[in-house]
Structure 1
Amino acid sequence: MTPTLKPLFLLADSSLLYWRDGGRPYLDCLTSLMQADAPLRAAYLGASNGDEPAFYELFVGAMELAGISRCRMIPSRPSDEDLTWLARAHVILLAGGDPLLGWETFQRNGVEPLLRERYREGAILMGISAGAMHLGTRAWREDPPPGELSLVPVLGLAPFIVGVHEAPEWKELKRAMQAAGPGARGIGIPLGGGALVHPDGTLEPVRHPVATFHNEGALLRQSLVTR
């Protein structure tokens, strides 16, 4: 049976982990999306923030609200047991922090191919801030000096360059869009908001509207996607 690809969860910050939509925890949807017979396993990747334990505890609390109790932090230097857990995880969260630190770590420690494999096998991948950028097509260093923005290819599971929490100007995202060249597509997710990227590439804003960008060569077109 061919696995069903799941939506990618792109979050600007951690607030949606605890957000209630109509009184119910928003992340209740994780269980219904997976439709698994066995208890769900969740993995947390904190490479972008240096494996800060406090952020992992936030993740554990959010998973408990969603009815998921089997959680594990996958450190920047994972053991064989850590990688085995990741390879079987139903829900995987890529934490926020320094986008390039996290990405270089994933390339070095063998996590990058596992993330691609788990997505193809039907796991739910979630990214917060830098983690959301990793799920898109390009990332860049935080607060780059003027004229020195350098784009790095990342997972590309979502067909967009992802920018977070810099509304309404989206200064760095616009710089990235220009650097990526004609044809590039981007999304800007405001503070407190998120977006689901469905397997067919369609966007579903969560909590707040999402800005979209398209580099048309001489024009950078911007629009807004609402629920």
Structure 2
Amino acid sequence: MSRRSGHGSRLVLLGGGFSTDDDGLLDDWVLGQVACDRPKVCFVPTASGDAPGYVERFLAAYRSRRCEPGVLSLFRRELDDDGLRFFLLSQDVVYVGGGNTANLLAVWRAHGVDRLLREAYDRGTLLCGISAGANCWAEGSHTDSFGPLTHLADGLGLLPGSVCPHYDSEPGRRASYRAAVAAGALPGGWAVEDGVGVLFTDGLPTDAVSRAPQARLYRVEPDEDGGVRERALPCRLLGAPPPGFTRSGT
């Protein structure tokens, strides 16, 4: 299996998608990052314990799109090691669902999926995910995997720094993440509000979009005074008319 041409190593952090939104804008944007006509899209629901309802929502959303959807189940694993490697490396998109970040990483490592995803990333597979499925790619993350909100200095490390999902929608997220970065418990990183999608190419942000005008992506870093610097990055509004376009009335 050779590297897919035309792109660097890419991953996407999502603040929404089929499991939370009805408009499908973020899902269509993700598929738009893949050049082939019918990309293979593998949903990995490990963080939810392979919850059947979650899997069904994914299949219902992606069967109607220009893609070939599939699911990787690890709690009822059917593939041997060779089959698992072939399956993952044949995907154009690997989409990781939300749930428990710490459990996700532990199960992946037990099955060798962490190593296979690194290989897929290096070969050009687009990796993406929401919530725990966004946390897992970074060096560390902000999580409620252990009950209360806390920091998890663990991850695959494909994305330098840390990630905080649900930055605007869950009480305590913003303050807790900022405190972890200020204290050095987490490296500086990316805070994703619900409704945002951000594409990283070789570890650097190359596109940021939003399905809602108010949703933002933030870069959060420690400052020299023991606090943090928080900088909002511009996001393109999905579904908006292009600049200069005027809707005509009837």
Whether TM-score is above 0.5 comes out as: yes
Equivalent position amino acid for 2:46 in 1:
A
Residue 34 of structure 2 corresponds to: 34
- Relative to the length of structure 2, the TM-score reads 0.75
Deviations 1:5-39 (A, max 9, x none): 2531111233577545xxxx5434555533237x4
- Mapping for residues 167-186 of structure 1, pairs under 5 Å: 167=168, 170-180=174-184, 184-186=187-189
* Cα displacement (A) at 1:90: 1.1
The 10-residue stretch of structure 1 (107-116 or 186-195) with the greater mean CA deviation from structure 2 = 186-195
Deviations 1:25-75 (A, max 9, x none): 5434555533237x4222121111110011112222332343113423332
Residue 220 of structure 1 corresponds to: 228
- When residues 193 and 139 of structure 1 are mapped into structure 2, their CA distance, relative to the original with a 3 A threshold, is same
Contact 1:45/1:73 (8 A) holds in 2 = yes
- Mapping for residues 66-77 of structure 1, pairs under 5 Å: 66-76=65-75
> Separation in 1 of the partners of 2:72 and 2:160?
27
Contact 1:186/1:214 (8 A) holds in 2 = yes
- Relative to the length of structure 1, the TM-score reads 0.81
> Separation in 2 of the partners of 1:91 and 1:192?
20
SS at match of 2:43: strand
SS at match of 1:191: coil
Contact 1:162/1:187 (8 A) holds in 2 = yes
> Separation in 1 of the partners of 2:141 and 2:49?
18
Q: Structure 1: which 5+ runs fail to align?
A: none
- Mapping for residues 13-162 of structure 1, pairs under 5 Å: 13-15=16-18, 19-20=23-24, 25-36=25-36, 39-76=38-75, 78=77, 79-80=79-80, 81-139=83-141, 141-142=143-144, 149-162=150-163
* Cα displacement (A) at 1:204: 3.0
Q: Structure 2: which 5+ runs fail to align?
A: 236-250
Pair member with larger Rg = 2
- Whether 2:210 is the aligned partner of 1:211: answer no
Deviations 1:78-132 (A, max 9, x none): 3223443112111101110011011111111110001111011000101110110
Q: How much is the aligned-residue C-alpha RMSD, in angstroms?
A: 2.9
- When residues 153 and 187 of structure 1 are mapped into structure 2, their CA distance, relative to the original with a 3 A threshold, is same
- When residues 8 and 174 of structure 1 are mapped into structure 2, their CA distance, relative to the original with a 3 A threshold, is same
> Separation in 1 of the partners of 2:193 and 2:58?
20
Equivalent position amino acid for 1:152 in 2:
A
Identity %: 22
> Separation in 2 of the partners of 1:185 and 1:159?
9
> Separation in 2 of the partners of 1:180 and 1:118?
31
Contact 1:17/1:59 (8 A) holds in 2 = no
